[in-house]
Structure 1
Amino acid sequence: MLKYIELKSGQNDQGPAWIARVKLSKSGRTVYFNGKALKRADGKGISANYFDLESGDEYWVSGVKKNGEDRHWAGAGIVWIEAGVVAEYLRVIGADEIDERRLKVIADLPETEVEKFRNLENTRLA
């Protein structure tokens, strides 16, 4: 599943951001991305809708916008896009090429060890 992910903690809408393939938990409340598990914040975040289970950092996670304007209106900075999702992203936004003023193609990010985080959450509940 293709998503827009932006680090919000301490970044004033200028944080690092990615367009990447993610995995979702069965409930859809956890997003697995770049070795992290991002849990739905359920209104507890200040400017974010997810938080990192390990660090507590806040993230904004959303679907990619068809107009290509994924950053917050007050934000700025390059958005990194995984090489393996470029073709899918271009189909979604209806474009023929990447806007290099806004996007930088990077190597695909590492997958998350989902089992590690399932064990972490189950340990916390016990």
Structure 2
Amino acid sequence: MPARVMFVQLKTGHPLDQGPAWVGWVHFTKSWRTAHFHDRTLQRVTGTAGANNDANFVDAETREEYWISGPKRDRSDARYSSQRPIVEDDARDVYEAFLSGARLPGRENG
């Protein structure tokens, strides 16, 4: 499975952009329609999702909604808040290198 360091935020049960957030390794299926993070299976949502159309993945079991995207160098990952994500230990070196200008693994060409 392709793995990428990604920004992940729980949307369900929280005001807009106030849910817990992480930067960590997300493992995707070959089709990129399913992601695995924190022992959860997250399925891609197409069209409108959630009350604020603010989720792009949903937990296959609990139906909780998540936003998954590539991290941003300016750390503005949460669009409507200044909340900082928890950086997972196993992704810390890659993420800090990215913040300093390096490309993320798997995205060397764009």
TM-score (norm 2): 0.79
Which structure has the highest helix share of the two? 1
State the SS of the aligned residue for 1:89: helix
Which digits, 9 at most, give the CA deviation of each residue in 1:44-88, with x for residues without a partner? 31210110000001000001112222112x234341111111111
1:82 maps to what in 2?
88
State the SS of the aligned residue for 1:22: strand
Q: Considering only aligned residues, what root-mean-square deviation do their CA atoms show, in Å?
A: 1.4
**AA matched with 2:11:** K
Runs of 4+ in 1 over 4 A off after TM superposition: none
In structure 1, what is the Cα distance between the partners aligned to 2:82 and 2:14? 11
Tell me how many residue pairs correspond in the alignment. 94
State the SS of the aligned residue for 1:88: helix
Structure number with the bigger relative contact order (C-alpha 8 A, sep ≥ 6) is 2
1:8–1:63 distance in 2 versus 1, CA, 3 Å: same
Matched-pair contact (CA < 8 Å) for 2:76–2:82? no
Percent identity over the alignment is: 33
2:7 maps to what in 1?
4
Quote the offset at 1:25 in angstroms: 0.7
State the SS of the aligned residue for 2:98: helix
1:123 maps to what in 2?
none
**AA matched with 1:65:** K
Matched-pair contact (CA < 8 Å) for 1:6–1:17? yes
Q: List gaps (5 residues or longer) in structure 1.
A: 96-126
